[in-house]
């Protein structure tokens, strides 16, 4: 999710609104008092409520007005505090009872590693191409609209990769493609110029993606629970527990620290609701190559689903999609 969709961005707008109202009232009265009661202006002796410079009107005052000057600011401060606490609660006490997607993020010097605690099968949508695995016949079917100009298909099943010609106009059945949900598989369709048109991918439990060559791929419209750990470069080095890092999603306005030596790690939760690819940065100085510790997060639609760009609501469908939905909150 872009930063303008996050809880803190909305909270900023609310704080700014009330701040502007307070500023208008405060400075309005300030300048009025400066002009009306400045030194050298003769007081209006016909006005029993006139104010003399340097004198406090102890003999005559307006009790309701004075109470208002105390009560209104107090109510405003309490209201702003409630909004701030409610926003923090929404961010840090996220609801895990709904549909969640767990992923572990490990930080090393100087890259991020994403370990999948749940499997994810996703496919691009609105490309005019569809990928279907037939487990009964162990065959792969790729359907493409003639207007897509699909020319070739790259198939990866586990460690095996192959590239096949595709005429782009009919269904091509690929036999003996023994699909397994326990290994990393992908199907990519290209045009004659080598431009990627469509991606179908299955990421199994335990699979690892490492930056900067691979993005963190997450599904849209689910509560993403990322458990984060700072690890040493050499796991066998028991003297080194890693260094401080910070997982920063600048376009979402979100950041969480990796705390070295903290066995349970830290946790960040968000709900991506806009498709697209967004940058990841390390926001904590972690060594000489801190500046190259970058990556990307890509939000995608699960196979057979689409992501509504306006509401973030999933809808069933047969088209495939590949875009990032950021999170947030």
CATH number at residue 287: 2.60.40.420
**Looking at the structure, do residues 34 and 144 belong to the same domain, yes or no?**
no
**Looking at the structure, do residues 184 and 67 belong to the same domain, yes or no?**
no
Cα–Cα distance measured from residue 103 to residue 327, given in angstroms and rounded to the nearest whole number: 14
175 Cβ contact partners less than 8 Å away, ≥ 6 residues apart? 137, 138, 139
Cα–Cα distance measured from residue 105 to residue 84, given in angstroms and rounded to the nearest whole number: 28
Domain final residue pick, 75, 92, 109: 92
Query: Is residue 129 in some structural domain?
Result: no
Query: Is residue 132 in some structural domain?
Result: no
- Residue 8: phi and psi, rounded to 5, are -70, -30
Q: Which two tokens stand for residue 175?
A: 């036999």
Per-residue pLDDT reduced to its tens digit, 207-221: 999 999 999 999 988
pLDDT of residue 18: 87
Q: Give the DSSP H/E element, type plus range, for residue 17.
A: helix 7-36
Q: Would you say the C-alpha torsion 310, 313, 315, 319 has a positive or negative sign?
A: positive
Domain final residue pick, 76, 92, 108: 92
Query: Is residue 29 in some structural domain?
Result: yes
Cα–Cα distance measured from residue 322 to residue 220, given in angstroms and rounded to the nearest whole number: 11
**Looking at the structure, do residues 179 and 84 belong to the same domain, yes or no?**
no
For residue 162, what are the CA distances in angstroms to 132, 158, 173, 190, 306?
A: 17, 11, 14, 13, 28
Count of CB atoms situated within 10 Å of the CB of 187 = 25
Tell me how many domains the chain contains. Answer: 3
Q: Give the DSSP H/E element, type plus range, for residue 18.
A: helix 7-36
Per-residue pLDDT reduced to its tens digit, 220-275: 888 888 899 988 876 666 566 678 999 998 888 788 999 988 888 898 888 887 77
Q: Is the pLDDT assigned to residue 187 strictly greater than 70?
A: yes
**Looking at the structure, do residues 183 and 321 belong to the same domain, yes or no?**
no
Query: Is residue 123 in some structural domain?
Result: no
Cα–Cα distance measured from residue 205 to residue 115, given in angstroms and rounded to the nearest whole number: 8
> Which percentage of the chain shows pLDDT scores above 90?
26
Q: Is the pLDDT assigned to residue 173 strictly greater than 70?
A: no
Task: Grade residue 175 by pLDDT with cuts at 50, 70 and 90.
Answer: low
**Looking at the structure, do residues 102 and 67 belong to the same domain, yes or no?**
no
For residue 209, what are the CA distances in angstroms to 44, 191, 220, 269?
A: 79, 26, 18, 19
Q: Give the DSSP H/E element, type plus range, for residue 9.
A: helix 7-36
Query: Is residue 238 in some structural domain?
Result: yes
Query: Is residue 25 in some structural domain?
Result: yes
**Looking at the structure, do residues 141 and 194 belong to the same domain, yes or no?**
yes
Query: Is residue 298 in some structural domain?
Result: yes
Q: Which domain holds residue 190?
A: 137-203
**Looking at the structure, do residues 54 and 150 belong to the same domain, yes or no?**
no
Give one word for 294, left, alpha or beta, with left for phi > 0 and alpha for psi -120 to 50.
Answer: beta
Domain final residue pick, 187, 203, 219: 203
Q: Is the pLDDT assigned to residue 310 strictly greater than 50?
A: no
Its pTM stands at 0.71
> Which percentage of the chain shows pLDDT scores above 70?
73
**Looking at the structure, do residues 303 and 191 belong to the same domain, yes or no?**
no
Nearest CA among 255, 252, 247, 267 for reference residue 324? 252
**Looking at the structure, do residues 53 and 194 belong to the same domain, yes or no?**
no
HEC secondary structure over 63-83: HHHHHHHHHHHHHHHHHHHHH
Task: Grade residue 168 by pLDDT with cuts at 50, 70 and 90.
Answer: low
**Looking at the structure, do residues 238 and 274 belong to the same domain, yes or no?**
yes
Whether 243 contacts 287, CB under 8 Å = yes
**Looking at the structure, do residues 214 and 67 belong to the same domain, yes or no?**
no
Residues facing 108 on adjacent strands:
111
Query: Is residue 131 in some structural domain?
Result: no
**Looking at the structure, do residues 103 and 227 belong to the same domain, yes or no?**
yes
Q: Is the pLDDT assigned to residue 321 strictly greater than 50?
A: no
Q: Which two tokens stand for residue 14?
A: 């609310």
Q: Is the pLDDT assigned to residue 134 strictly greater than 50?
A: yes
Give one word for 40, left, alpha or beta, with left for phi > 0 and alpha for psi -120 to 50.
Answer: left
């Amino acid at each position: 999710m872009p930063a303008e969709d996050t809880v803190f961005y909305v909270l900023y707008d609310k704080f700014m609104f009330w701040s502007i109202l307070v500023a208008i009232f405060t400075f309005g009265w300030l300048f009025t008092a400066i002009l009306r009661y400045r030194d050298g202006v003769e007081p209006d002796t016909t006005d029993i409520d006139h104010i003399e410079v340097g004198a406090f009107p102890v003999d005559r005052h307006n009790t309701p007005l004075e109470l208002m000057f105390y009560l209104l600011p107090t109510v405003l401060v309490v209201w702003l505090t409630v909004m701030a606490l409610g926003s923090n609660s929404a961010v840090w006490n996220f609801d895990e009872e709904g549909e969640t997607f767990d992923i572990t993020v490990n930080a090393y010097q100087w890259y991020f590693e994403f370990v999948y605690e749940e499997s994810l099968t996703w496919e691009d949508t609105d490309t005019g191409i569809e990928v279907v695995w037939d487990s009964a016949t162990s065959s792969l079917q790729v359907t493409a609209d003639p207007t897509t100009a699909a020319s070739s298909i790259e198939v990866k099943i586990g460690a095996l990769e192959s590239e096949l010609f595709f005429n782009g106009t009919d269904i091509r059945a690929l036999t003996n493609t023994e699909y397994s949900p326990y290994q990393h598989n992908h199907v990519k369709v290209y045009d004659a110029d080598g431009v990627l048109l469509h991606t179908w991918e299955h990421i199994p439990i335990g699979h690892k993606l490492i930056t900067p060559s691979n993005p963190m791929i997450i599904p849209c419209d689910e509560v993403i629970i990322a458990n984060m750990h700072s690890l040493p470069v050499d796991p066998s080095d028991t003297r080194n527990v890693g260094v401080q890092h910070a997982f920063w999603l600048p376009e979402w306005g979100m950041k969480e620290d990796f705390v070295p030596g903290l066995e349970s790690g830290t946790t960040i939760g968000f709900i991506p609701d806009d498709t697209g690819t967004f940058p990841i940065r390390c926001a904590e100085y972690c060594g000489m190559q801190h500046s190259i510790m970058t990556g990307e997060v890509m939000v995608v639609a699960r196979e057979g689903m689409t992501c509504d760009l306006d509401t973030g609501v999933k809808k069933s469908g047969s088209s495939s999609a590949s875009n990032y939905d950021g999170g947030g909150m």
